[in-house]
């Protein structure tokens, strides 16, 4: 799997937007960009994914660069419950691959 690079940590104020960046310069044409988050003492949960176009769902938005070498997860209004580790990974729609999680970005949200 191609490698992703994320900042170790970020801080946000409650009710402000948060932009979490991810670099994936070695992405291949068949790789989907997935974001997961892990709340304290829980298993990771799926947030959003995309291939080429920007995506929106009830949890977040995903902005994908035109060359697909980077992406940004956008939380429109951070809440204290959004404090978590956010992982950006690349997944190909095939039957077998390692699905490596990096260190992720730990998001701190201040009240």
Partner 1 sequence: DSGVTQTPKHLITATGQRVTLRCSPRSGDLSVYWYQQSLDQGLQFLIQYYNGEERAKGNILERFSAQQFPDLHSELNLSSLELGDSALYFCASSSHGTLTTGELFFGEGSRLTVL
Residue 98 binds to partner 1 (criterion: CB under 8 A): yes
Do 109 and 80 meet the contact criterion of CB atoms below 8 Å apart?
Answer: yes
Q: Identify which of residues 9 and 13 has a Cβ nearer to partner 1 in the complex.
A: 9
Nearest-approach distance from CB 92 to partner 1, in angstroms: 8
Q: Residues of 2-23 as b/e, b for ≥16 C-beta within 10 angstroms?
A: eebebeeebebeeeeebebebb
Do 61 and 50 meet the contact criterion of CB atoms below 8 Å apart?
Answer: no
Do 62 and 35 meet the contact criterion of CB atoms below 8 Å apart?
Answer: yes
Residue 59 binds to partner 1 (criterion: CB under 8 A): no
Candidates 20, 27, 34, 84; binder of partner 1 (CB under 8 A) is 34
Q: Identify which of residues 13 and 52 has a Cβ nearer to partner 1 in the complex.
A: 52
Candidates 23, 44, 63, 72; binder of partner 1 (CB under 8 A) is 44
Q: Identify which of residues 31 and 82 has a Cβ nearer to partner 1 in the complex.
A: 31
Nearest-approach distance from CB 82 to partner 1, in angstroms: 18
Residue 7 binds to partner 1 (criterion: CB under 8 A): no
Q: How far is CA 33 from CA 23, 38, 85, in A?
A: 11, 17, 17
């Amino acid at each position: 799997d191609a490698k992703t690079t994320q900042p170790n940590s970020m801080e946000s104020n409650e009710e402000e937007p948060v932009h979490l960046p991810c670099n994936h310069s070695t992405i291949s044409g068949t790789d989907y960009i997935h974001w997961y988050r892990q709340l304290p003492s829980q298993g990771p949960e799926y947030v959003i994914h995309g291939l080429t176009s920007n995506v929106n769902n009830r949890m977040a938005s995903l902005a994908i660069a035109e060359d697909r070498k980077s992406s940004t997860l956008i939380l429109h209004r951070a809440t204290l419950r959004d404090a978590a580790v956010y992982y950006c990974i690349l997944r190909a729609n095939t039957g077998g691959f390692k699905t490596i999680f990096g260190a992720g970005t730990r998001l701190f949200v201040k009240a």
